[in-house]
Amino acid sequence: MTSQARAAERTVAGLSCSEVLERLSAYVDGELSAAERAHIDEHLQGCDACTRFGGEFGTLVKALRTQLGAPED
């Protein structure tokens, strides 16, 4: 994580962006419980900062947001 990414961090649905990013690979691999996935879904739908982390995370988050029906920005 760069300091720039940390500056953009938000807390949505009880999770900070960095917590979401830490769990993202487990999310994609299906290793999270339904409750954990629901929290991440809620965060991604309510948080446009995650897409600004860039790189593979940004691409992945954008794909997930599209899948969840969250508006693109």
Sites of contact with Zn ion (CB under 5 A): 17, 47, 49-50
**Given the complex with Zn ion, which of 33 and 47 has the nearer CB atom?**
47
Residue 39: name the closest of 64, 20, 58, 63 by CA.
20
Q: In 1-73, where does DSSP find H-type helix?
A: 3-7, 17-28, 34-46, 55-68
22 and 48 in contact (C-beta within 8 Å)?
no
In angstroms, what is the minimal distance from the CB of 14 to Zn ion?
12
Angle in degrees, 0-180, between the axes of helices 55-68 and 17-28, rounded to the nearest 10 = 80
In angstroms, what is the minimal distance from the CB of 47 to Zn ion?
3
**Given the complex with Zn ion, which of 24 and 47 has the nearer CB atom?**
47
**Given the complex with Zn ion, which of 14 and 30 has the nearer CB atom?**
14
In angstroms, what is the minimal distance from the CB of 28 to Zn ion?
16
